[in-house]
Every structure is written in structure tokens, then in C-alpha cells.
């Protein structure tokens, strides 16, 4: 296959056939060039993705995490390289450790149990809006230190910020940014400790000085965006796999210790984050392709997770899978800081769903409708019935 491929990861046509197209490109050429969006290289193998994420000096994050770039509020630490990245991340990482996230398990479990009880009594539900989109905004609000009931408000703000940035509606974008900034600033002004992320940011110092309002806003905005949509899709596709993979629910009910392995395999098969981007600094050689300074590289995580050189029977859902080095959470210094919170939410949903409604099934005639976008992938609906 030629190095040239008119690769368009934003084409809605790609969504239902993404893995077939990725396999065709990856198997013919691990790194291909596209002229779309100003030109970029797409890395589709597991090896190439790991090479790029393992070398932040050559492959910089300062050009933005998406192709095409979305120019809005600068969001530390994801849009910075070391040492700035390291300093920003250190401010908040304590709250996102496994132990830090575990503090919120009783609350999140109660919320999921109560919501499922309501849905089961009703008899049917679309589990994307009713459950997958219900939990993550509350979870990220709680760990940030914001009122749980405000979760839907700031998710709406971030959605509007992204939409107006993409459409170029600068006046509306500025208005939304001012609303959100005022909201965040109000809570930052009230913080007096460091027992939540807002406290960490409000009291944090960078290079010996307090964070600026724009730095604070950017960090909060990033955490809300990264902690919401990606986890929504992770939960939604997991519920779908539980219902459609033969014998999976029975195996998990018989051996709940397999649930973490199931979560990893669900994330591998349908990675919520499909692509991330880097910018070449000073030139590079990637899989034998010479890359010039300032060229853009798209890391196709969804393709790397199906690489047959790493994963045996990559198109099958295998649980337990003996070796599963998937890159659904990324890799290297920018590996998702909210990984443990996302895993916790997915585990709680799986455990409570299997305990309260093990016989739920997807509505007759349902056909998966996958989102298509520059970064995330997931189901738009998932109608189910409860016997």
C-alpha cells in the first residue's frame, strides 16, 4: 500500500465500519500520510503509537491533542510538555490515584443502585441517557469538589464551548466561557483546603506563583471534558458487550473477579478515545517514514488496540485475555489521569447491573449507532428491557 491515504477520521461513513477500515490501512502500511486538515501522518500500529507516546521530546503535545486543532481555552497539563506538564499534573494527581478515587465508591454505588431500581421498576430504558450519561457528571463533580447537582450544568457549558469553538461563533463562545469562568472562580474563592481537586487547583502554585484564572479554568475544563464523555462511552459500550457477548454475563456472575478483565477487554475492543495528536519537533523517523519538523501525527488508538501483532484474535471479545496491553487510556506521560475513577465507575455499573438485572436484554430490532468525531467513540442509544 502507498504511504498516501486520504484518511479522514471525521467522516461519518467511517463510524459503523471503523475496525475494518483501520485493519485495511494498518495491515498495508503502519504509518500513512493524509492531505486532509492541512496534512498529517496517521500511526495505526501498537508499536508506532507506543513509540510516539514514549518520546515527548520528539513528539510534542503543545500543538493540541486533536486534528484538526481546536483553538480555545488552553488546557494544562494535556497541552504541555515536560517540565511544565509534570508540574501541572503533580498539582492534581493525588486526587486521582486508585486510593483517592476509592473514597467515592459508597456514594457512586448508592447512586447507581437507586437509579437502576427506578429503571427496573419502569420495565425499560435507554441506558445511554438514563445510566451511562447519568453517573459520570456526578462523579467528576464530586471529585472536583463541586455540588453533585451541578454536574449537568458544567457538562452543558463544556459542550457549548466545544461546539462554538468548532463553528467559529466567537461571541457565543466568549459568553459561555465567561459564564463558566465565573462559576469556577466562585468555587475557587470558597476553597480553604486541599481535600478535592478544586482545592488543589485553588491553592496550587506553578513555578513559584499561584495559578492564573485562565490556568485554573483550563485545568477544570479539561477534567470535566475528559472525565465525562469518555466515561459515558466506556460505560455504554460495556453494557452493550455484557448483553451481546455469548456467555459473558454467566461467566462474570459465576466469577466476579473477572469483572476488571472484562472492563479492560471492553475498552480495548471499543476504545472511547479513538485518536490523539502530537506535533513533531526537529524531525523524526517513524516506522521508516521520515517526518519533518512541525508535521502533525495522529495516533489511532482504536487501530492499535486491534493490532494482530500484539493481540491474538483481535476482533474477538476475549475474557479473560491473558495479556491486554491496550492503549485505551493512552500511554506515556499523558496516560489518562482519571483512569482509576473511570474504572471505578465502570466496575460499579457492571456489578450493580449483574446483581439487580442480570437478565436485561437489548430491545428487538436495535442496531448500534456509533458516534463519529475527532476524538471519542460510543453508542448514541442503547434501549433495553428488564424482565
Cell of 359: 437478565
Cell of 203: 491553592
What is the CATH T-level fold of the domain 12-385, as seen in this structure?
A: Cytochrome p450 (1.10.630)
> For residue 156, what pLDDT is reported?
83
Average pLDDT of each block of 10 consecutive residues along the chain (387 residues)? 76 90 90 94 97 98 87 86 96 92 95 98 97 94 88 80 70 84 76 72 89 88 85 97 97 97 98 95 95 97 96 97 96 95 98 97 95 81 96
Cell of 67: 486534528
Whether the CB-CB separation of 387 and 281 falls below 8 Å is answered with no
**How far is 294 from 204, CA to CA, in rounded Å?**
32
> For residue 153, what pLDDT is reported?
85
Whether the predicted model's global pTM rises above the 0.85 cut:
yes
Whether the CB-CB separation of 63 and 296 falls below 8 Å is answered with yes
Residues 6+ positions from 317 with CB-CB distance below 8 Å: 241, 245, 248, 265, 266, 269
> For residue 222, what pLDDT is reported?
87
Q: Give CA 17 to chain center in angstroms.
A: 20
Q: How far is CA 67 from CA 138, 174, 296, in A?
A: 29, 22, 8
Query: If we measure between CA atoms, which residue out of 131, 253, 362, 44 comes closest to residue 262?
Result: 253
> For residue 71, what pLDDT is reported?
67
Length of the chain: 387
3-state secondary structure of 78: coil
> For residue 191, what pLDDT is reported?
57
Residues 6+ positions from 171 with CB-CB distance below 8 Å: none
Maximum separation of any 2 CA atoms in the chain, in Å: 61
Residue environment code for 56-94, b if the CB has 16+ CB neighbours within 10 A, otherwise e: bebbbbebbbbbeeeebbbbbbbbbbeeebebbbebbee
> For residue 276, what pLDDT is reported?
95
The domain ranges of the chain are: 12-385
DSSP code for 131: I
- Which region, left, alpha or beta, applies to residue 256 given φ > 0 means left and ψ of -120 to 50 means alpha? alpha
Whether the CB-CB separation of 77 and 84 falls below 8 Å is answered with yes
**How far is 371 from 200, CA to CA, in rounded Å?**
34
Cell of 81: 510538555
**How far is 217 from 215, CA to CA, in rounded Å?**
5
Query: Which segments of 27-168 are extended strands (E)?
Result: 31-34, 40-43, 59-60, 124-126
Amino acid at each position: 500500500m502507498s504511504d498516501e491515504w486520504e484518511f479522514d477520521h471525521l467522516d461519518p461513513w467511517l463510524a459503523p465500519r471503523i475496525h475494518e477500515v483501520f485493519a485495511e490501512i494498518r495491515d498495508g502500511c503502519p504509518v500513512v500520510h493524509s492531505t486532509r486538515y492541512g496534512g498529517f501522518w496517521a500511526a495505526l500500529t501498537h508499536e508506532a503509537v507506543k513509540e510516539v507516546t514514549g518520546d515527548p521530546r520528539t513528539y510534542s503535545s503543545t500543538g493540541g491533542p486533536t486534528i484538526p486543532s481546536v483553538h480555545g481555552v488552553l488546557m494544562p497539563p494535556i497541552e504541555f510538555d515536560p517540565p511544565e506538564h509534570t508540574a501541572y499534573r503533580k498539582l492534581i494527581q493525588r486526587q486521582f490515584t486508585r486510593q483517592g478515587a476509592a473514597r467515592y465508591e459508597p456514594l457512586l454505588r448508592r447512586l447507581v443502585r437507586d437509579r437502576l431500581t427506578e429503571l427496573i421498576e419502569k420495565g425499560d430504558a435507554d441506558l445511554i441517557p438514563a445510566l451511562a450519561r447519568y453517573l459520570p457528571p456526578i462523579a467528576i463533580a464530586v471529585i472536583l469538589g463541586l455540588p453533585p447537582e451541578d454536574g449537568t450544568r458544567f457538562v452543558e457549558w463544556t459542550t457549548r464551548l466545544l461546539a462554538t469553538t468548532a463553528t467559529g461563533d466567537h461571541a457565543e463562545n466568549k459568553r459561555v466561557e465567561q459564564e463558566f469562568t465565573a462559576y469556577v472562580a466562585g468555587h475557587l474563592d470558597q476553597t480553604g483546603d486541599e481535600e478535592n481537586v478544586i482545592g488543589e487547583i485553588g491553592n496550587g502554585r506553578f513555578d513559584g506563583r499561584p495559578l492564573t484564572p485562565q490556568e485554573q479554568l483550563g485545568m477544570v475544563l479539561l477534567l470535566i471534558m475528559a472525565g465525562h464523555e469518555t466515561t459515558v462511552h466506556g460505560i455504554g459500550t460495556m453494557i452493550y458487550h455484557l448483553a451481546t457477548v455469548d456467555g459473558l454475563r454467566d461467566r462474570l456472575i459465576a466469577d466476579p473477579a473477572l469483572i476488571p478483565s472484562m472492563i479492560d477487554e471492553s475498552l480495548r475492543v471499543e476504545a472511547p478515545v479513538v485518536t490523539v495528536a502530537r506535533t513533531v519537533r526537529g524531525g523524526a523517523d517513524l516506522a521508516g517514514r521520515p517526518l519533518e519538523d512541525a508535521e502533525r501525527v495522529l495516533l489511532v488508538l482504536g487501530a492499535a488496540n486491534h493490532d494482530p501483532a500484539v493481540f491474538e484474535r483481535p476482533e474477538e471479545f476475549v475474557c479473560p485475555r491473558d495479556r491486554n496491553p491496550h492503549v485505551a487510556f493512552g500511554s506515556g506521560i499523558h496516560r489518562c489521569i482519571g483512569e482509576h475513577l473511570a474504572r471505578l465507575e465502570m466496575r460499579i455499573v457492571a456489578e450493580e447491573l449483574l446483581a439487580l438485572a442480570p437478565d436485561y436484554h437489548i430491545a428487538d430490532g436495535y442496531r448500534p449507532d456509533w458516534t463519529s468525531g475527532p476524538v471519542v467513540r460510543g453508542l448514541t442509544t442503547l434501549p433495553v428491557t428488564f424482565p
